[in-house]
Structure 1
């Protein structure tokens, strides 16, 4: 069973946003709610079935901590977490 965690970076496998990098904000049953801080903002997260996303092993710890503690996050936090992921993947 795959583990879907708040703050985890995922890649869309289907739909108009195929190939886009997003961050999980919340999970419910077979769906996840995600944002990228640009096109898909926190105010209107993308709902997608779990089977339509590819999870990565990357979780932004500072973002995860804020999400778990119900602290305020903004779209800039999401964009920075995605940037960190991109840098980590480049090596």
Structure 2
């Protein structure tokens, strides 16, 4: 269930902080210790949350649609992220 490497579009669960227990997508990898996460609700794409990797539970679920849209620079909306996360619940 856990993976060592991170990818854009990967689903993570926050294990520390005020967003604890919530699911997010990784939208950008900043460096080996930090990533930007967004869920389209509280943490929208225009203001993603900078999180330390050690405070995230990483899942082996990578949403290819989210990944491809982010990497290609295609327009992606908060409602699209919300819909994709709802499919996982």
Is this a same-fold pair by TM over 0.5? yes
Q: 1:66 aligns with which of 65, 69, 72?
A: 69
Report Cα offsets for 1:42-81 as digits up to 9, x if no partner. Answer: 0100100000001111111111110111111010111111
Q: In the alignment, is residue 51 of structure 1 matched against residue 54 of structure 2?
A: yes
Runs of 4+ in 1 over 2 A off after TM superposition: none
Q: TM-score, normalised by structure 2?
A: 0.91
In 2, distance between residues paired with 1:33 and 1:21?
13
RMSD: 1.1
In 2, distance between residues paired with 1:81 and 1:5?
16
Count of residue pairs brought into register by the alignment? 86
5+ residue gaps, structure 1, are 87-91
In 1, distance between residues paired with 2:71 and 2:50?
19
